[in-house]
Amino acid sequence: MPDRSPEQDDELIHAAHASRYHWGEIGTLANLGRGEWQISRVYATLGRPEPALHHARRCLAYIEAGVGTEEWDLPFAYEALARAHAVAGESFESRRFEQLAREAGDGIADLESRDMLLADLETLPGR
């Protein structure tokens, strides 16, 4: 939604954190990483680089632990870092993580998942 109210922005943040909290109670490390990805995406969408970077880094840490992950988890963790660094105005780091996402994405066998990654990468700020 391009035109959100401050209350709708808050709702996005609270919903993402609530989802991550619940996965923390019953999920795997992969679920936690995906929850961190979602939170990072919300903050990046809202133009808030510091929390976007924090949660993108947490996402990568959970995914690198490798418990219960799918082949698309690591490329999307890199995508989160590329997006968060772009929002922070750190174009070198953004491009670096975008390249890592593309390289890791080459290993995604499921075409729909690979296409989702590539579509997300096309929406990185500054592209």
- Give the chain's domains with CATH numbers: 6-122 (1.25.40)
Residue 85: the pLDDT is 98
pLDDT by residue, tens only, the chain of 127 residues: 778 999 999 999 999 999 999 999 999 999 999 999 999 999 999 999 999 999 999 999 999 997 789 999 999 999 999 999 999 999 999 999 999 999 999 999 999 999 999 999 999 998 7
In DSSP notation, 26-93 reads: H--HHHHHHHHHHHHHHHHHTT-HHHHHHHHHHHHHHHHH-TT--TTHHHHHHHHHHHHHHHTT-HHH
Task: Return d(Cα 2, Cα 103) in angstroms, integer.
Answer: 31
CA distance 8 to 14: 10
Global pTM reads 0.95
